[in-house]
Amino acid sequence: SRFETCWPALMKDSHGVIIIFNPELPSHLKEIEMWYSCFVQQQPLLDSQCLLVAHHKPGSAGDTENLSLAYPLNKLKLIHSNLEEDPEDVRMEFMKYFRSIITLMNESREREEMSIIS
């Protein structure tokens, strides 16, 4: 993609990755493997630092709700967003995700401080 040259700058010092995709597009399902590989595995970030969001457009087919992703994507936290029906659920999931990232950042900072002291 024409933005690939920007990726290293985007990835530098990042603490989390959110991948939003349209579950109805088979091409997106292939692309998220590439995004996961580039932005999570190669950094390397923990799987818990990645959130997958299957975004359902208004009036889209509902049968993609029980989406089964192949390994390694099936290890990631997957939420379904449908802003018409349950924006509150999505907001709660985002808050949980951000809290987990903040916790991880605090833990790694504490480890760094301890290693400086000792």
**Given this model, what pLDDT does residue 83 score?**
75
Q: Which residues contact 56 (CB under 8 A, 6 or more apart)?
A: 23, 24, 62, 64, 65, 80, 81, 82
Is residue 76 a contact partner of residue 47, using CB atoms and an 8 Å limit? yes
d(CA 44, CA 11): 10
Kindly tell me the number of DSSP H helices and DSSP E strands found in the chain.
Answer: 3, 3
d(CA 98, CA 15): 10
Q: Which two tokens stand for residue 1?
A: 């993609």
Walk along the chain (118 residues) and give the pLDDT tens digit of each residue: 567 788 888 888 889 999 999 998 888 888 999 999 999 998 889 999 999 999 988 877 655 567 888 899 999 999 998 877 778 889 999 999 999 999 999 999 999 999 998 7
**Given this model, what pLDDT does residue 63 score?**
58
Residue whose entry in the numeric block shows the structure tokens 């290890």: 75
**Given this model, what pLDDT does residue 64 score?**
59
